[in-house]
Amino acid sequence: MGSKIIVCLRRQNVTAGVWRRNRLITLEHFEHSEIGHENFARWLGRFSGATCHLLIDSPDESLKLETLPHVLGIGRSAMVRRKLDQFQPSHVYKAALCMGRESEGRRDDRYLFTALTQEALLHPWLDIVERSAHPLSGIAQMPVACHRLARILSLSTENLLLITRHQHSLRQNHFVKGALSMSRTVNATSDAPHHLVGETEKALLYLLNAQTAGTSAPLQVVFAGVEEAGLADAFETTCQVIPSQILEKQLRLADDTFSQHPDLLFMAVIALHGCPGNLAQPSQMARSRSQQLRLGLNLAGAALLTSTAVAAGIHISTAIQLQQEAEDLSKLTRQLPPYASAKPHSQTPSGKQLYATVELASRIEHSYRTPLEFMQVLSAALDKLPEIQLDKLEWQLGEHATVLPVPNAPQFAVVEGKIHSRDATLLNTLVTHLKAHPSIATIENEQPDVAKPLHGNTQSPNTLTPQTFRLRIKFKEST
């Protein structure tokens, strides 16, 4: 598994980490300056070939939750593209993220449209990544990473206010019916419990006044990694605190990592679970797609090589086993003469006997035809008579079935079936078709009553009884 570089961009500084085999192996911080850019470029050179994903944590972001008609195929893509072009038309980095469907009414699709409105924060670092030839796997915003964190923690997002700690701020994320409806950044000027309680009360008051809930489910408040004393009992609504130890274990981070670097939580979310809502342009993703294609081809080649090696191993094992059996048979053969000398030798046939045997076999082989030709003739005749059903086809050598073939004995075919019609001439038509073939000598109707026409309406149209027939066909001798 290749290395992944996750770069978290914020106004204060930049944090970059490298994950290999789903484990964080190194972490660095860089400043927004020329020296910081140079240090970042040199640092990237240490991890050649690693994919790079950028995570942006900035208050300059635009989110909009909108419902669209549920459409499939090309129409859906065109509709989302048109809506995305209308959303923040002056900005380039934007994406549409499907949040599921409405549970009532027409069950429309819910989409979260997100855009980066402060592109100056992204461009210097993105240019360094592109010049370093590292494949860009995506550009994500912090609200979408918070949405993915809620899914990873299996939180009920019917009516949820998720509060997360970041390097220099708190983020309040509100979810309604599984969709992210609001994400707000709050400056963490103080870690005192009364400051966190006050900011949370402001968010609750805002949600109550704006009536953004849109659901009858009670509001649940969850603090992820925010562990100040007294938070769980400070509000009348349901409140839950998820300790940082649980988050570190869930995302495979070392102990006490989150307390020193809070943004590592969301960087690990992207490294381990990916992140939807990619803001990168298709042209920026070309190198990443090429690398994925090469990786797929390499995996397919490795699988083919492994299967070839396994097959070769099986063949070698079989060859060794056969060689061992041949050696055992050779040993047994060398032990046979003392015992075989006491037994009478079989009489060797003379040349005349062998010649007569070969001649008899040749005569038997050339004096009989196979049923294939007749089956083709019969099939062609029945195709023209769909009212006739074939039940049995019997092939005989001689007047009676024998175990051993007798040279020049006549060959017979017995055909049995049913006629699903009152037209008695159908059987005569079938016989005519068969007699036209040059290999058939005679055809005998062993149930002559079937060929007689039916007089009177003795059966109702809905109670037609099929008529059975049996034909015995004799073939001409093969030349």
Looking at the fold, whether 270 and 417 belong to one and the same domain comes out as no
**How much is the pLDDT for 8?**
94
- Asked if pLDDT for residue 42 goes beyond 60, the answer is yes
13: CB partners within 8 A, 6+ apart: 29, 30, 31, 32, 36, 167
**How much is the pLDDT for 169?**
83
Q: Is 325 within the bounds of a domain?
A: no
Of 244, 263, 296, which residue sits at a domain end? 296
Provide the residue count of the chain.
479
Q: How far apart are CA 360 and CA 33, in angstroms?
A: 102
Q: Quick one: pLDDT band at residue 190, thresholds 50, 70, 90?
A: low
142-152 helix and 264-273 helix, angle to the nearest 10 degrees: 70
Q: Is 257 within the bounds of a domain?
A: yes
Task: Pick the range with the lowest mean pLDDT from 31-35, 281-285, 286-290.
Answer: 286-290
Task: Pick the range with the lowest mean pLDDT from 159-163, 222-226, 323-327, 354-358.
Answer: 354-358
Kindly report, residue by residue over 117-155, the tens digit of the pLDDT: 888 899 999 999 989 888 898 999 999 999 999 999 988
Share of the chain above pLDDT 90, in %: 16
Looking at the fold, whether 393 and 284 belong to one and the same domain comes out as no
**How much is the pLDDT for 458?**
47
Write the CATH number for 470: 3.30.70
- Asked if pLDDT for residue 96 goes beyond 80, the answer is yes
Q: What is the domain count for the chain?
A: 2
Q: Which residue has the higher pLDDT, 264 or 358?
A: 264
Of 246, 261, 296, which residue sits at a domain end? 296
Quick check: 238 and 8 in contact, CB under 8 A?
no
Mean pLDDT of the region 329-335:
72
Looking at the fold, whether 417 and 282 belong to one and the same domain comes out as no
Q: Quick one: pLDDT band at residue 364, thresholds 50, 70, 90?
A: low
Domain that holds residue 158: 4-60+118-296
Looking at the fold, whether 380 and 468 belong to one and the same domain comes out as yes
Q: How many CB atoms lie within 10 A of CB 456?
A: 5
- Asked if pLDDT for residue 453 goes beyond 70, the answer is no
**How much is the pLDDT for 168?**
77
Looking at the fold, whether 263 and 387 belong to one and the same domain comes out as no
